Structure 1
Amino acid sequence: MTKEDFIRELESSDEFNLLDKVVKEEITVQDAFSHLLKLTMDQLSIYGPKDWNKFGTPDYNISCATVELAQRLEPSKHTKLVEFTYHLQKQVAIDTSTNEPLDAQGAILWTDLPSFGYTELEEWEEFGGAHEDPSNPRMDYKERDRWTKLNAFLAQLTQAADVYYPSSQEEPIYHPLDKSGRAIWTISMTLEKDRPPAWLRNTAAMEATCYWFIYAADHLWDIVLHNHRWSGLLSDATGKRYRLKGWRGIPMERWIIWENALKDTRDACEEGRMRNLLDQALASIATAMGNARWI
């Protein structure tokens, strides 16, 4: 099945049309969830709780619909998508035969958003659909548009996440709405390259980086303040210029480098739209830090 065929099939699904109505404010988030719950329970009654690949179809479809609509809508129109996903993550589907939460291959439906994590990651890694390099200023416009909008949505979702920052003695707790990893990957590929970041001033990578700061600067700054660190993939997300730093998370040194790189890029940028985004990103950083004189 081609990507286009998959999207056409998705558009015909009940879940896509349900979420489309939420975005258009034709139904409420709560009503949409009630419909999704019924779709899920109907599947569960047919296939039983052991066959996640069948009874989990509504969760998969709603996740794909969320990601697809996020890539179509302007960032300012993402509000209802964020509201729906936030509400969904607060719900727990119950297996009425056991009165226990429904198991989705080791995850809890919907608390762990079992389908959303891998569907949004797959789309993010496609960079708009054709796996083009978002650092390339000649990236196809449609693919650039989809990928940057997805980053804007993930940034807003991350900002909405109710994240708990554990002490140094506690294990890190992963929140399904917290996509800080995508932020670090995006920003590092943009502001930590061998070349000065200003070289990327009119690229999808720089635009997506701006969106992360515009919509999630408060959250990213909290990571700095709490010295929150990750292991695994995120510990390897440092760009080539700083690969010997061994950063995990966002230490203050890294944050300052990012801010200065954005300033240098803004000063070198002559294109009006990108310069405006860079100004907004720097303003969001200053607001998050509570120190407007840093701009």
Structure 2
Amino acid sequence: MAFEMFKTGPEYSSEFKLFKGLVDDEVTVDDAVQWVIGATMDRLEGYGPGGTIDKADAVTFMAILELVMRIDQAQYGPLVAFLKELKMYNAVDSTTGLVLKARNGSWVWSHLPSLTTCARKILAEFERDDDYLCDPNVDPEQQIRWAKMNIFLAKSTQAADVKYTSSSQVFISDGMDESHIGLCGLRQIFEEGIPTEQLTSGVGLLGVCYWFICAGDRLWENVLNGRQYNKYDGRPGDMFWDRNWRGFERERWDVWQKGLRDAQDACLPGQEDVKDLISRALSKMESLTNDSSCQ
């Protein structure tokens, strides 16, 4: 389970209470960062032999993401600011003086490895049922949690300081940049052959709409710079298996835009909220492409 490191659930943890205080203006970003640094290192020391920095660090990010799914998106600002500040630090082994690394080789905290790891773990929990993304019977509370998770990841991505060095760049230059998670969602929704009429009743479409609404500028910058990933993260969906896509290609952007238009046309009476969300996503995409063509 995603929250297995908590005995009673993340909402009862000291970390959760800290971040709740942060969004309620009871704790400053600097104080929250220093508290987390100290608590994480104390936790790692307390684990003893066999304890890992991955496990110690994950507690923080699981608490953040659980809070994200409970509060209004208007309160995300302090949490994004926290990530910006935390990535200025590194966890250092007191005996060797070396920066502690996650299992994937990323530095804790400057690469924010647990943000991606924990987000993927939680999203995988949502998607245990193969039909989850287009299931019209998903519990409304779970729909809200899914949407909020995607909104926060998109807002974090938009706030990232991404350095584009070359089109063959496969590493992520800023740990706040979760574009690869957004790309995964877009592939699942628009490239795997899900019937359009099913998309309009599922949570998957909501998630990708919020990615364009909240992080459209970043996604378009990825396209303009030919952002690529490894073969797994950048791969095309089954409908486009013969394309040599590795990330944010312009042809792929057009596929997603057409997918949104088709979904908009497929909306039925009573789906006005979904249609409005699609319109907002399309409006963002169209404004970006129009601005680019005028330059």
Secondary structure of residue in 1 paired with 2:133? coil
Aligned equivalent of 1:115: 114
Aligned equivalent of 1:181: 180
Mapping of residues 10-21 of structure 1, within 5 Å: 10-21=10-21
Under a length normalisation based on structure 1, what TM-score does the superposition of the two structures give?
0.85
Change (3 A) 1:250 1:102: closer
CA distance in 2, matches of 1:195, 1:101: 44
CA distance in 2, matches of 1:192, 1:172: 21
CA distance in 2, matches of 1:60, 1:201: 34
Secondary structure of residue in 2 paired with 1:110? coil
Aligned equivalent of 1:88: 86
- Amino acid corresponding to residue 37 of structure 1 in structure 2: I
CA distance in 2, matches of 1:45, 1:232: 37
- Amino acid corresponding to residue 273 of structure 1 in structure 2: D
CA distance in 1, matches of 2:244, 2:102: 35
Aligned equivalent of 1:227: 226
CA distance in 2, matches of 1:2, 1:264: 34
Note if contact 2:3-2:62 (Cα within 8 Å) is conserved in structure 1.
no
Where structure 2 has 5 or more consecutive residues not aligned to the other structure, the ranges are: none
**Aligned-CA RMSD value:** 3.0
Deviation by residue 1:87-109 (Cα, 9 ceiling, x = unmatched): 21222233454444334454322
Aligned equivalent of 1:33: 33
Change (3 A) 1:2 1:262: closer
Aligned equivalent of 2:100: 102
Alpha-carbon shift at residue 137 of structure 1 (Å): 1.6
Mapping of residues 186-265 of structure 1, within 5 Å: 186-236=185-235, 238-265=236-263
Aligned residues: 290
CA distance in 2, matches of 1:3, 1:43: 17
- Amino acid corresponding to residue 156 of structure 2 in structure 1: L
Deviation by residue 1:69-104 (Cα, 9 ceiling, x = unmatched): 122223333222222122212222334544443344
Mapping of residues 144-159 of structure 1, within 5 Å: 144-159=143-158
Secondary structure of residue in 1 paired with 2:226? coil
Alpha-carbon shift at residue 3 of structure 1 (Å): 6.1
Where structure 1 has 5 or more consecutive residues not aligned to the other structure, the ranges are: none
Aligned equivalent of 2:288: 288
CA distance in 1, matches of 2:169, 2:280: 35
Note if contact 2:160-2:177 (Cα within 8 Å) is conserved in structure 1.
yes
Note if contact 1:286-1:292 (Cα within 8 Å) is conserved in structure 2.
no
Aligned equivalent of 1:135: 134
Alpha-carbon shift at residue 201 of structure 1 (Å): 1.4
Secondary structure of residue in 2 paired with 1:108? coil
- Amino acid corresponding to residue 141 of structure 2 in structure 1: K
Report percent identity of matched pairs.
31
Change (3 A) 1:126 1:217: same
Note if contact 1:163-1:178 (Cα within 8 Å) is conserved in structure 2.
yes
